[in-house]
Structure 1
Amino acid sequence: MNIPDRYKGVFFLFLSTIILSAASPVTAKLIILGKDNLENGHNPISFCNVLFAGNLIALITLALIHIKDRKQFKAVHLKRKNWVLILLSSLFAGFLTPTLYFFGLMYTNVINVVLISTMQIPMTLVSGWVFFRETPDFRVIIGAILTMAGVVAIVVFQNWLASPVTHVRLSSANTGPLYAFLASIPHAGELCVFFAVLSSTASTIIGFHAVERLPHGMFSVFRMMLGVVFFFFIASILFGWSHFADLFSGFLWKWMLFYGSVIVAFRIYLTSIGMKYATVAEVAISSSLIPVVSVFFAYLILGEVPGKAQIIGGSIILAGMFIALTGKLESYRKTRVLEKPSGFSGV
């Protein structure tokens, strides 16, 4: 399939968004399966095990996908600035963002998590303007506002028209001094989600800078590899070795082969391709699809039926998506900030 370059960013980011939208329902389903298959009285599919084992499988998968790039690429050619970008992105994306979201889910309800997470759309657009001088099209701005309004509508109308959304609460790392410290802070969950959004936005911006100078495949491999190392050691210090007690469970690894290779690695692969051709605004707009598509996967995987609030808010989000994407596809006269790295043939 021959896709024009000007549409590639939107196309691959759209596919990546579809997989990302399925991530939470799939994770919730895996946790439910783990509860039905306890080992030594523990759920083998815990937070620490999923992130470490899943990301390790993803690392192996990405290394195999980009094996051609790995043979041609020489790490000694990287400058200090390149390594700093990789290390920062690995720390943000591999440990800080998922851990903060996890704590957010522990200390607040999912409605607040969804509401605060929508801040990433305007944050990404503002970051594109500040760091890349990328002025969004007027219809993109209107579309972003509508998508945010749609998510807010889901949250607001949900309290009036339906009962609160149920979700699977994670239970690893719920003891110890860190837990007690967070429990003593008012609105700790909301603060954790807010900082998770900042971390995710920073990782996105760093990624844009990095893929301008690095082969996108090797950047993904390096970031995942360092992210696995960061997460294992930092999680061991914060939560203790006991949270990895069931790491060698056959049941865990059976499902992590699917989760790590498809949900994590393939999504990262699609995102990295999309970022070569996309603008920051397109990344922000594609992210706004997640709430609507997540509702569909929640029904498909978990059997959760969308309520009136989800239908109303979802309609607003789809309207915003239509306006924004129409504006983007018809206004490619502006200069794009991302170009294919020179001297790199791609995959």
Structure 2
Amino acid sequence: MVKRHNKIAGQIYLWLAILIFGASSAITRKLTEIGAQHFIDARNPISLCNVLFVGNICALLVLITIYRRQWNKAILKKISIINWLNLTKVAILSGAIAPALIFQALALTNVNNVVLIGRLEPPLTLALSVFVLKQRVNIWETVGAVTAFIGVTLTIILQPPGQSTMHMGVNIGIGEILSAIGAVALAVSTIISKQHLYKIPLGIYSVFRTALGTIIFFFLALIIYGRDHFTDVFSPFLWQWMLVYGFVIVVLGQSFWIKGLKASTVSVASLVSSFTPLVGILAAYFILGEAPTMAHYIGGSLILMGILLSQIGIRRQASLRTELPKMISTSAQHKVETTIGFKGM
């Protein structure tokens, strides 16, 4: 009875986390719109860079609080130099480059595009797993990945022409391109993690990735945008909103997610997380008033169909095992997190 209660509680925590993560893109865009109404010396105090930088600091504090016991000499000594180098690669790709590209995409295109095009990550990760890791996948996962990929492609090429559009036979927006590149960076990062970092404790992986990613992003922004780019990072107006953002998206989101993973299986967590795109689209509508376009309906329908087919494959694989794996390893978490995409940081 207690075990069943824990499973139910775990699923509730996962659903709460997915509701928060799914709405994160819309909330991020809304914050920047609020900041645009309160300029400081012609600058938006709640710029996307400020949100990402401060949000990462909030996330790091949460992760250190949760995983501080894993950071001890005995565990750290077991990590080889090669693994630290691979951790660095992952931190650069998934902790700095991908978030920066996604945040920039949010500034150039609507949230629905970012949400749906970000779904390029799962099929790309699956393809790389097959060709690089020689991983076997069943027909359901393959068909699901191909269907989702077609959906993402249609979402991109059916976009109406906009201000930041490149004409390459079809009208492709720069924001859409950045979203796709961000998804590629996340997929490559996941493959590196699967191949080399599956034995690294989750706490060390998460804290190191977030910390190094934040530092690298900070210096990249300074190089690209100049020394004054983070002038308003200590603005009281920014922090009053970031306290809300940090508490809801980072503290509650991460806490619910980790609690849910501890009491759930890979298949259950993957199923729940597959609803993230739908939550993202609904959040964009209710928070920002962004109604889906025909491209979103067509591409989104195929993406959701692909997710459903993939879930059938995942459930079938799980049913062949005597025990469903618990969400305690880094590699297992990667398998689920590729279905989530952007989590607000």
Match of 2:55 in 1: 54
- Consecutive unaligned residues in structure 1, runs of 5 or more: 170-185, 343-347
Kindly state the Cα deviation for residue 267 of structure 1 after the two structures are TM-superposed.
Answer: 4.8
Aligned residues: CA RMSD? 4.3
Question: Residues 318 and 231 from structure 1, CA distance in 2 versus in 1: closer, same or farther, beyond 3 angstroms?
Answer: closer
2:62 partner letter: T
Is the Cα–Cα contact under 8 Å of residues 62 and 265 in structure 1 kept in the other structure? no
In structure 2, C-alpha distance between the alignment counterparts of 1:129 and 1:265, rounded to whole Å: 35
- Structure 2 SS opposite 1:242: coil
Is the Cα–Cα contact under 8 Å of residues 149 and 316 in structure 1 kept in the other structure? yes
TM-score, normalised to structure 2, is 0.73
Match of 1:243 in 2: 229
Greater shift, 36-45 or 328-337, is seen at 328-337
Kindly state the Cα deviation for residue 28 of structure 1 after the two structures are TM-superposed.
Answer: 0.8
Correspondence for 1:224 among 190, 198, 210: 210
Correspondence for 2:306 among 292, 317, 320: 320
What does 1:173-212 align with in structure 2 at a 5 Å threshold? Answer: 192-209=178-195, 212=198
Is the Cα–Cα contact under 8 Å of residues 147 and 320 in structure 1 kept in the other structure? yes
Match of 2:96 in 1: 95
**Partner deviation per Cα, 1:173-202 (whole Å, 9 max, x = no partner):** xxxxxxxxxxxxx98666644432321112
Kindly state the Cα deviation for residue 112 of structure 1 after the two structures are TM-superposed.
Answer: 7.2
TM-score, normalised to structure 1, is 0.72
- Consecutive unaligned residues in structure 2, runs of 5 or more: 165-171, 331-345
Match of 1:177 in 2: none
Q: Percent identity?
A: 33
In structure 2, C-alpha distance between the alignment counterparts of 1:213 and 1:121, rounded to whole Å: 22
Question: Residues 18 and 84 from structure 1, CA distance in 2 versus in 1: closer, same or farther, beyond 3 angstroms?
Answer: farther
In structure 2, C-alpha distance between the alignment counterparts of 1:301 and 1:311, rounded to whole Å: 19
In structure 2, C-alpha distance between the alignment counterparts of 1:259 and 1:9, rounded to whole Å: 24
Match of 1:25 in 2: 26
Kindly state the Cα deviation for residue 38 of structure 1 after the two structures are TM-superposed.
Answer: 2.4
What does 1:320-339 align with in structure 2 at a 5 Å threshold? Answer: 320-332=306-318, 333=320
Greater shift, 74-83 or 219-228, is seen at 74-83
Match of 2:199 in 1: 213
Number of residue pairs aligned between Structure 1 and Structure 2: 317
In structure 1, C-alpha distance between the alignment counterparts of 2:25 and 2:304, rounded to whole Å: 20
- Structure 1 SS opposite 2:198: helix
In structure 1, C-alpha distance between the alignment counterparts of 2:311 and 2:112, rounded to whole Å: 27
Match of 1:135 in 2: 136
**Partner deviation per Cα, 1:154-191 (whole Å, 9 max, x = no partner):** 556665xxxx799xx9xxxxxxxxxxxxxxxx986666
In structure 2, C-alpha distance between the alignment counterparts of 1:73 and 1:266, rounded to whole Å: 30
Match of 1:179 in 2: none
In structure 2, C-alpha distance between the alignment counterparts of 1:97 and 1:119, rounded to whole Å: 13
**Partner deviation per Cα, 1:25-68 (whole Å, 9 max, x = no partner):** 01111011112222333211112211111101111111112234
In structure 2, C-alpha distance between the alignment counterparts of 1:191 and 1:318, rounded to whole Å: 21
What does 1:1-347 align with in structure 2 at a 5 Å threshold? Answer: 2=3, 17-70=18-71, 74-104=75-105, 117-154=118-155, 159=160, 192-209=178-195, 212-264=198-250, 267=253, 270=257, 278=266, 289-307=275-293, 310-332=296-318, 333=320, 340=328
Kindly state the Cα deviation for residue 225 of structure 1 after the two structures are TM-superposed.
Answer: 1.2
2:192 partner letter: I
